[in-house]
């Protein structure tokens, strides 16, 4: 029996998937029941009630004002059922902590995608009441959605306003300060007109690309399992390598004195300029292979 990425996209090929992946486009598979049976048969995925019985920690409930995890509360399993019955979606975070099988699948998919060992991989379960869903938003991570129970309709559109966002954003909310720094124009407040619709039924798989606009709505109570990967960017890899390299120098490890004192700021700037000068001399000798060998060693 297949597992990992090949099981998720069956009967499609790895080559077909990567053709969409490299273009940052959605990829959908329907009626993938045979190869996902081992996941579907996990006891806690039998129903929301079974999941609540198995769940050992708090659950995130999405408040009705935004219908999104950007506006949520943490609740216990007893109250979660009441909130769900009153139309609030539930998010079970880090679901792999109660299933070694999900841990294995996460590692296998991460390996199949060629993602960094620094990738934050986790499983999420979304329980969505009939007629409810999530507000339009995009994520900084990539997701494989496996529809376990019920039907969920997805509206998706490419993000032509912001390429490769570093953080999540919900339409109608204020972008975070870092995003504001590289945002060149205001983000839209409604889904783009070219949005496409995907209807996920039990056994459907949907790949949601990083940064892609999407919103959802359940038809009947729905339960979905996500394989979610927050992978480092080239920026993350470089800054990790840079810190590791500079940490070897006692001069770079020195306390940054005087930076907030007007009387000594000029001395702080002089010291900093000397350090930056040494870095400028060192950088031309850096090579990608050396950096990756240091922070991302290959398996033999």
Residues 201-251: tens digit of each pLDDT: 999 999 999 999 999 999 999 999 999 999 999 999 999 999 988 999 999
pLDDT value at 295 more than 90: no
Q: Is residue 299 predicted with pLDDT exceeding 90?
A: no
Residue 20 counted as domain residue: yes
Q: What is the pLDDT of residue 69?
A: 82
Do the domain assignments include residue 186?
yes
From CA 177, how far away is CA 179, in angstroms rounded? Answer: 5
Residue 300: the pLDDT is 60
pLDDT for 1 equals 60
Segment 26-53 mean pLDDT: 95
Say what the pLDDT of residue 2 is: 72
Q: Tens of pLDDT along 122-140?
A: 999 999 999 999 999 999 9
Does 300 reside within a domain? no
**Are residues 183 and 132 part of one domain?**
yes
* Domain-terminating residue out of 209, 230, 251: 230
Considering the domain architecture, whether residues 98 and 200 belong to the same structural domain is answered as yes
Check whether residue 226 and residue 241 sit in a common domain.
no
**Total structural domains within the chain:** 2
In this structure, are 282 and 146 located in the same domain?
Answer: no
Are 207 and 265 found together in one domain?
A: no
Q: Which of 196, 230, 264 is the last residue of a domain?
A: 230
Identify whether residues 225 and 86 lie together within a single domain.
yes
Least reliable range by pLDDT among 42-51, 62-71, 85-94, 133-142: 62-71
Residue 56 falls inside a structural domain:
yes
Q: Which domain holds residue 158?
A: 4-230
CATH code of 212's domain: 2.60.120.650
Shared domain check, 88 and 219: yes
Same domain, 259 and 198: no
User: 163 and 75, same structural domain?
Assistant: yes
pLDDT in tens, 172-194: 899 999 999 999 889 999 999 99
């Amino acid at each position: 029996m297949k597992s990992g990425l090949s099981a998720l996209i069956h009967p499609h090929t790895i080559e077909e998937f990567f053709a969409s992946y490299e273009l940052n486009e959605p990829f959908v598979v329907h009626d993938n029941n045979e190869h996902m049976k081992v996941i579907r048969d996990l006891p806690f995925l039998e129903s929301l009630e079974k999941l609540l019985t198995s769940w050992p920690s708090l659950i995130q409930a999405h408040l009705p004002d935004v219908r999104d995890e950007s506006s949520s509360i943490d609740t216990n399993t007893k109250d979660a059922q009441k909130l769900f019955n009153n139309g609030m979606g539930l998010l079970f975070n880090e679901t792999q902590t109660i299933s070694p099988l999900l841990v294995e699948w996460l590692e296998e998919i991460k390996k199949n995608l060629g993602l960094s060992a620094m990738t934050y991989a986790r499983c999420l379960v979304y329980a969505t009441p009939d007629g409810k869903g999530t507000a339009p938003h995009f994520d900084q991570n990539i997701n494989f959605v496996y529809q376990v129970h019920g039907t969920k309709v997805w509206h998706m559109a490419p993000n032509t306003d912001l390429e490769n966002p570093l953080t999540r954003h919900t339409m109608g909310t204020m972008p975070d300060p870092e995003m504001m720094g590289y945002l060149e124009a205001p983000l839209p407040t409604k889904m783009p007109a070219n949005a496409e619709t995907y209807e996920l039924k039990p056994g459907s798989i949907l790949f949601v690309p990083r940064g892609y606009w999407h919103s959802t709505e359940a038809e009947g109570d729905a339960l979905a399992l996500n394989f979610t990967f927050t992978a480092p960017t080239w920026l993350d890899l470089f800054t990790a390598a840079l810190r590791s390299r500079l940490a070897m120098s006692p001069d770079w490890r020195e306390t940054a004195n005087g930076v907030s004192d007007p009387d000594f700021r000029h001395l702080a700037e002089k010291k900093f300029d000397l350090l930056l000068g040494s870095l400028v001399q060192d950088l031309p000798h850096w090579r990608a292979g050396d950096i990756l060998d240091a922070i991302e060693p290959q398996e033999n």
